[in-house]
Chains A and B, each alone.
Chain A
Amino acid sequence: QKEVEQDPGPLSVPEGAIVSLNCTYSNSAFQYFMWYRQYSRKGPELLMYTYSSGNKEDGRFTAQVDKSSKYISLFIRDSQPSDSATYLCAMLNNAGNMLTFGGGTRLMVKP
């Protein structure tokens, strides 16, 4: 079993839809949670960074963490074709020296 599980997709939605991306994890040592967006043939770009359980909002993006269930989500409101990319969840232990990625979910937003 992988430490971080993420549905690979692809996930195809119409423009304007609300997108929900999720990851589950098994290692309780993970304390920091990140979402990265990666366009084809580019390096990952940090979208959201959270620590505690609960919600964190930044524009059209909302990151949600439920440590008791070991489950994190990224919601994208009013999705745009430019949001089409692979979204990677990543988790960091408390010492900050172990960064583990999910496999990534490929999202396609169709105009």
Chain B
Amino acid sequence: GAVVSQHPSRVICKSGTSVKIECRSLDFQATTMFWYRQFPKQSLMLMATSNEGSKATYEQGVEKDKFLINHASLTLSTLTVTSAHPEDSSFYICSASDPRAYGYTFGSGTRLTVV
């Protein structure tokens, strides 16, 4: 089945630094990938839609200059949290849709802690 790999699974960074999270579709090409944020005991909140070869589409309230998304190839999208602050600490998850299958496949998530 479709596999989406997300890396790193856990990262701790200092306030003011930037962190890059990678999302790869391993056995299919994904023209569109999605980035979500999840707070403890809450559901997934869509942050942005990543489109291969074009600009990402951000949801209302999500700062595009803070959460930089790059989708340079059909199998890789990256989310960079710039100038991270403690309030950016959260669980970030990516997903993609395999055109050969139904539904959306999610990565294993990245737990970001900003200290």
- Chain A residues with CB under 8 Å of B42's CB are 103-104
- Chain A residues with CB under 8 Å of B108's CB are 42-43
A6-19 CB contact bits vs B (8 Å, 1 = yes)?
00100000000000
- Chain B residues with CB under 8 Å of A101's CB are 43-44
A23-34 CB contact bits vs B (8 Å, 1 = yes)?
000000000101
Range for the number of chain B residues in contact with chain A: 20 to 34
- Chain B residues with CB under 8 Å of A106's CB are 41
Residue from the set A41, A43, A44, A96 with the largest chain B CB neighbour count within 10 Å: A43
**Contact count A vs B, C-beta below 8 Å:** 44
A49-107 contacts to B, CB under 8 A, are: 49, 88, 90, 96, 99, 101-104, 106
- Chain B residues with CB under 8 Å of A32's CB are 102-103
Give the docked Cα–Cα distance between A96 and B17 (Å).
36
Chain A residue at minimal CB-CB distance from B104: A99
Q: List 12 contacting pairs A-B, 8 Å CB cutoff, sorted by A.
A: A8-B41, A36-B106, A43-B106, A43-B107, A43-B108, A44-B44, A44-B93, A44-B106, A45-B106, A88-B43, A99-B46, A106-B41
